[in-house]
Each structure stands twice: as C-alpha cells, then as structure tokens.
Chain A
Amino acid sequence: MSLEYQKSVKELAEKYGPENLVVVLGFLDEELVEIYATTLTLGDPSYSGSLAGVALRLKVYHILEPEVKDQIPEVVYQEQMGLAEITTGQEKIKKISKMLKEIREK
C-alpha cells in the first residue's frame, strides 16, 4: 500500500477515531485486497510506511462481500455492481469475503 495512502488514512484515523471509520475496497486482486486489509488492520507488513507498527484495527470490507451487499438496496447494487459480480464470479467473491472476515476478527 502506497506510503501516501498510509499517511492519509492514518491522519483520518487520528481525526475521526479508528472506531468511527469503515474502509470499503473495490480491488479484485486478492493479494492486493489482503495487503490493504492487513495494513489498515494490523499495520504495514513491509515496515516502510506511516502504518509500520501501527495497528489501526480499521474494519475493512469489500464492496462485493454479502455483508456489505445486504445493506444496499437491491436495485442500486445491481445497477452499480451487477457487471462486477458476473465478471468476478461467486468463487472469488467467497474467497475474498472469507479472507477479509478472518482479518477483521484478528
């Protein structure tokens, strides 16, 4: 996760309090999703950015996770995410959801 983004998120966490923030990702590369979620939950694994050794414990979700989908009116979700759901496929969505759930519970 880029150093600039780490800095921005850290500042937002200081301003609003980490417990008041929620992060929603729209990346489809599983490794990249994992890196962002880990960095924003437990700190920068590469120890190079502002979040090195800083566990913000932000709640990180993916927009395609069922937990998120359930909170969004069906019509809007289909309109915005319909194509992404088809191209991503249920298998990958399940994998990403499981991974993020585990990271959130750490």
Chain B
Amino acid sequence: MKPVIKGSAYVLAHVPDLVRYGSKPYREIEKDPNLLPKIEKNLRRFLDVVAYPPNQVFIGNLTPDELRNIPQPWFENKLFSASSCGNFGEIVGENNFYGVLKLADANGYDLVWIENKFLSDIKKFGINIFFDEQSSQKMGEGKTIAEIQEKLALGPRMALPLFHNEKLIGCFNRSQDPHAQEDEALGPHPLMEGLAAKASGALALKHLIEKLKMSPEEIDFIISCSEEAVGDRYNRGGGSLAKAIGEMCGCINATGPDIKAFCVSPIYAIIVAASLVKAGVFKKVAVVGGGCLAKLGMKFQGHLESGYPIIEDTLGAAAFLIASDDRKSPIIRLDAIGKNNIKNSARQEDVTRAVVLEPLKKLGKRIIDIDKYAVQLENPEITVPSKTGDVPKKNYDMIAGLAVLNKEITPQEMAEFVKIRGMPGFAPTQGHIPAAVPYLGHAIEAIKNGGIKNAMFIARGSLFLGRMSQLHDGMSFIIEKNPKQKEAKKCLRKKRP
C-alpha cells in the first residue's frame, strides 16, 4: 500500500510580548535591563505581521515563487490586502493565543494565570478555531491583578509575568504541586516553552483536521516532531507532546510518541509515519510540530543594528497527515529515502551526496529530474542582518554544485538551477519548523494541479549542538504525483492577498 501525503497545515502565533522569553533576549536583558525598551520599540504590530509577505507564503496565500518577485526588504513591502486566514492555516494574534495557551493548560495544573478582565474579553470577543461554547468554561476563572502580583513577588523561579501590549495581564507559574518546587525542569520557563509548543502544535493539528474535513477520531497515531524537552528532572525531554496535542484536538483514538533529532525531526517523523501506513499498522498518521519559544528574538541584535523590526516574533507550527493511498494525493517514495550515515564525515560533499544523490540513484534519476527542492527554508531577512547568510541559498548552492560535479549542469547554469528548482526562504527561524516541510502544502497543490511532478524535501541537523557527538545529520524524502490521480484539473486559487 502506497503512503500518501494527504495534507498539511501551518500556523503562526504572533507573540511579541513573549519575545523577552526567547533564550537570547532573556539572557541579554538579564545582563542589561535597558535592552528591554529597545526590543519593545522594535516589535511589530499584528497587522504588519499578517501583511508580511513571507508569512503569507507560510500560511499558503502566496507561493514561494510569487515571493521572489516581491522586492526586499519584505517588511517594507507589506501586502495590505493580506488576510490572517490562509489556505493552509492562519496567523493567530497574541490575545487569542493566550486563550489557546489557557486551554492547553486545562489539565488542572494551573500554570497560566490570566487577569479577570483580559480573560473575560478573550471569552467574549476572541476568535479562534479552538473557541466554542465549552471553551469559556475550560479556560477557567481569571485572577485579580493583586493575586498575580503577589505570585510574581515570589520571584522568577516561581512565576514569570505575561504581558499584552506591554501591559501586565497574567503570569506563568512553576508547577504548583509540592514536590515540583525544587525541580528546575518544572519551573515557569521550561513549562512555558512546553506549553507554547503544545498550544501552537494543537492549533496546526486542529487546522489540518478541519482542512481535510475529517473527524479527529479518525486519526490512529500522532508523532510530534517538536523540539521542546517536556519532562521532569528525572527525564528531561521525556515527551510525549504528541499525545498532549492529540488530547487537545479530540483525537481520542490515537496515541503516539515524540521523535527528536534537531532540525531533521519532521523528516524522520514523516518517514516513520509513511512506513507505519505502508506496513499496514495504521491508516491515518498525523505528524505535528509545535513552535519554539526559545528561538524567539534569537537574532534580535542583528535586527536592531540594521534598523529592522524584530522579525522573530512568531511561533511557527505545522501538521501533516500521512494516509493510505487515496488515488489523488502525492505519494511518498519510501524506496528512495536519503540519509547521512554515521560513517560519513561532516564534509559538505558527503552530506549532500548522501541526502540528494544516493536516493536519486535508487530511482535511476538525476539531480535535474527533480522539479523542486525544499531545503532548510529559513527566511533570509531574519538571518542576513545578523551576518549569518541566506540559509536556503547556501543549501541550494551545494545541490547545484553537486549537479556541476555530476556534470549535469555547467557552473554558468548554477544560478538558473537554483532559481528554477529552489525557492526563497519564507519560514520563521523556529528550529525544526523551517526544515523543508513548510513547502509541503505548496508542493501538494503544485503536484495535484500539474505545476510540478515531484519534489525532494531535505533537512540537516546539527547534532553537535547537544555535545554528545560531532556528527552532522541529514535526511530526505521525495514525493511525486500519484500515478492513479485522474487527469489534473487546473486548480484555481480562490484566496489571494
């Protein structure tokens, strides 16, 4: 049975008041409290985040090729007719996200305290895929500002303040139970990271379920590829965000684990999901990745120095459904998986050969037989001001370079190769989220409507960051047109910003 990729969903949660809790801003503000007002002054408004062209590509209202035609800097070329609702998901505003965060905390742990008026406004006026008649009750009661301040007076080990428009609206607590008081893994900061990943991941999965017009009960198995280390002091990183996210989305007939391998996690998770479907173990497997709070504002210094707004102000999340053959969705070629084996050194040629050339050889194909390559798709407008280069461009150059070494193209044709078979980066620097898979939604559409016939998804992981090994990781898969798909009807897009 051939596994297919049925669909994907993408969500951005605009959380400017959580940027201060990103690892880099948090450390720098601790050293120099004067930085905070500078950061706040350069944060973006929700409308600017919606109108930001790369974000429109992420949620599926604009294609990567259309983004290429918009001059940079993109933050100065906003799309004023843009919508926060996308073909593949949505951009969620901060107040609504706090509501979802509160719902994610509805398991009796009482981690998120929100001020009375702010919470009742969310209940009354909030609009979100998760908000319904029951959600008000699930969100529980608010707190008075005095109660919140009393909690905050215990210091940052016990609670961290939550803001909206720079105004105090709540706090995030250490786990309240007595034996967690000395457990640093259950302090407010790591728990906030975990819950932000759960809430944003659940948003993506919920969108996926709605988009595919399916019941959450149909999902058999869920794999989380989120990076956050959820667990207590005896098992930091124990997991299972997958099940927590599934619970929030009503996937009552599913269970599932987390797969973690730095930025390569989504590729591993999709390959495992497709293998489970092919083996007949499960019929419908969801893969979900929640956002990474720690990476908010990671490159804020470069942005401040360049006079840019702080672009790393959104949590990114994505969800995918892998299912048995439906005779229309693109198939995942499990007979041509690329992998960078342990014996391989770190040298670029080894890694690129392993993930690009080896799987193609198995299919008797050449590099130029793949219509689109999706690589690490970090938005260059985030990385270039901090002098860390255009990440997708670097990866595309390596694939083009390999095509030169392979005598498929000449050095003069490299730029054209990158232009046609590559794309500009459009994903937030959220670790595993930009790992090639932001293109999956676009690829499914393009393959179905005949724009392209296949695409390769490649991610690379910096295992050395964990100090357990010096190894570099890399993994890839190919999707292609379903041979059983009836003649493609031209799919005219309805929504355009």
Contacts and interface: CB of A to CB of B under 8 A. Distances in A.
Q: Answer whether A and B touch in the complex at a CB cut-off of 8 Å.
A: yes
Give the one of A28, A79, A82, A83 with max B CB within 10 A: A83
B400 A79 contact: no
Given A28-B389, A86-B404, A80 B347 contact: yes
A79 B388 contact: no
Q: Which of B347, B402, B404, B405 gathers most chain A CB within 10 Å? A: B347
A76 to B, nearest CB: 10
Most buried by A among B349, B352, B394, B402: B349
A86 B352 contact: no
Nearest to B386: A32
Interface residues of B, number: 17
B390 to A, nearest CB: 9
Interface string A3-15: 0000000000000
Interface string B332-355: 000000000000000111001000
Contacts of A31: 387
Given A79-B347, A79-B349, A82-B349, A87 B398 contact: yes
A29 B394 CA distance: 10
Query: Interface SS of chain A: helix, strand, loop or mixed?
Result: helix
A31 B390 CA distance: 13
B394 A28 contact: yes
Contacts of B398: 83, 87
Contact of B400 (A29, A80, A87): A87
B interface SS class: helix
Contacts of B404: 86
Nearest to B396: A87
Nearest to A31: B387
Given A79-B347, A80-B347, A83-B349, A29 B388 contact: yes
B411 interface: yes
A84 interface: yes
Which among A28, A29, A86, A87 has the highest number of chain B CB atoms within 10 Å? A87
Nearest to B399: A87
A54 interface: no
Contact of B387 (A32, A80, A86): A32
Contacts of B414: 86-87
Interface string A45-82: 00000000000000000000000000000000001101
Nearest to B383: A29
A66 B347 CA distance: 20
A103 interface: no
A93 interface: no
Interface of A: 28-29, 31-32, 35, 79-80, 82-84, 86-87
